[in-house]
């Protein structure tokens, strides 16, 4: 049995939506883009959405549009995907890494407060693995110190905190739609904001610096080609119509894993939201007491794909010479234990049983 780590859930609805674009004469900056943006904005409860070519592009545009640059600092966890830190560096600003809470794996608010200096301009709040960060504490910190908040919600569409959707708290927030995400556009991302001026600026930035009031070959500011095609947008809009169904299916897969892995020696189950908060399951990441890398190798040899989620950013070769003034002891310790198991909408119970059986037997052999 070969089981991939992730797999997109594409139905006839999505296929028909994409085909309808291919039969049209509009492949970029058309009605499907507007539909997709409006569907996400409505779901999050904010007035403006700007679809872009990737979640990374969205994070970059947030940093750029907020005027963050050389000499500025942005606080971000090291236990995240590297795009969060890269987007800060693209503009010449400094990512300041902070440690995580060992229970939630999200940035520890007390560490955020400690890391603030006179150069700090923003906090990048990452909703790790679809579990909302402590936005109440982060909002309070940002207000006390006059900081922007960028929500990295790339892994968390549909999650809520204190009754509000993630993405509705910050000055801007970013969702991502790579094929391993809850919903996919193939490649793509989207920024949401309540600020009309910020949204207008980001729309220009994604389209080579051309504002909607500009003529076709008039470019008012330095921009990028971060556009999302009509094909991608049509796929995303169709997936958004199925979002509740998809989130339900993923939660059901997580419940099967929970049941089969309950009381397993040496295995800590993933963190989860506490009521009234809701989780949007992106991946199913367990923490092993020992032998994580050897377990991963053995599972791979048996056809079970798994992943190291996450390798800390500050330990990546691209950041080897980067200063890291704060202790990241929890990040380092927990990242050595984390293992993402196969997880996707249509993962069957029989497949999950096979994964759990092989995981347990491998751990027993190595103990």
Catalytic residue among 2, 181, 249, 302: 181
Contact yes or no for 253/182 (Cβ under 8 A): no
DSSP-derived letter for residue 52 is E
Question: Apex CA 249: angle with CA 245 and CA 255, to 5°?
Answer: 145
Among candidate residues 268, 279, 281, 256, the one with its CA nearest the CA of residue 336: 268
DSSP-derived letter for residue 367 is -
DSSP annotation string for 316-343: SGGGTTS---S--HHHHHHHTTEEEEP-
Helices H / strands E in the chain, number of each: 12, 12
Whether 181 is a known active-site residue: answer: yes
Alpha helices in the chain (DSSP H): 12-22, 31-44, 55-65, 83-90, 109-115, 135-145, 196-206, 230-241, 243-261, 292-301, 329-335, 349-366
Distances (CA, A) of 141 to 90, 122, 164, 216: 25, 11, 19, 43
Tokens representing residue 126 in the block: 């990452």
- The percent helix, strand, coil of the chain (3-state, each to 5) is 40, 15, 45
Residues with a known catalytic role: 181
């Amino acid at each position: 049995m070969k089981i991939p780590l992730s797999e997109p859930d594409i139905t006839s609805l999505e296929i028909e939506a994409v085909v309808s674009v291919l039969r049209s004469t509009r492949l970029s900056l058309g009605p499907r883009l507007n539909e997709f943006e409006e569907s996400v904005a409505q779901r999050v409860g904010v007035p403006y959405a700007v679809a872009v070519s990737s979640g990374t592009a969205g994070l970059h545009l947030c940093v750029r549009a907020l005027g963050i640059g050389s000499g500025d600092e942005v606080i971000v966890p090291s236990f995240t995907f590297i795009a969060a830190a890269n987007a800060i560096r693209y503009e010449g600003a400094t990512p300041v890494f902070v440690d995580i809470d060992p229970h939630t794996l999200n940035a520890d608010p007390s560490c955020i407060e400690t890391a603030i200096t006179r150069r700090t301009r923003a906090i990048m709040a990452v909703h790790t693995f679809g579990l909302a960060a402590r936005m109440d504490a982060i909002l309070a910190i940002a207000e006390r110190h006059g900081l922007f908040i960028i929500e990295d919600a790339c892994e968390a569409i549909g999650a809520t905190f204190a009754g509000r959707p993630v993405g509705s708290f910050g000055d801007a927030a970013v969702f991502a739609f790579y094929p391993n995400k809850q919903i996919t556009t193939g490649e793509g991302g989207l920024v949401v904001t309540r600020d009309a001026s910020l949204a207008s600026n980001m729309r220009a930035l994604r389209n080579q610096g051309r504002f909607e009031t500009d003529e076709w070959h008039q470019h008012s500011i330095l921009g990028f080609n971060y556009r999302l095609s009509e094909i991608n947008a049509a796929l995303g809009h169709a997936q958004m119509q199925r979002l509740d169904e998809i989130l339900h299916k993923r939660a059901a897969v997580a419940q099967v894993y929970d049941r089969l892995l309950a009381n397993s020696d040496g295995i800590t189950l993933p963190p989860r939201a506490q009521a009234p908060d809701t989780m949007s399951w992106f991946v199913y990441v367990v923490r092993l007491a020992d032998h994580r890398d050897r377990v991963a190798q053995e599972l791979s040899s048996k056809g079970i794909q798994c992943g190291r989620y996450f390798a800390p950013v500050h330990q990546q070769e691209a950041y080897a010479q980067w200063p890291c003034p704060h202790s990241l002891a929890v990040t380092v310790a927990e990242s050595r234990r984390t293992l993402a198991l196969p997880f996707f909408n249509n993962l069957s119970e029989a497949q999950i049983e096979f994964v759990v059986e092989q995981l347990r037997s491998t751990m027993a052999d190595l103990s």
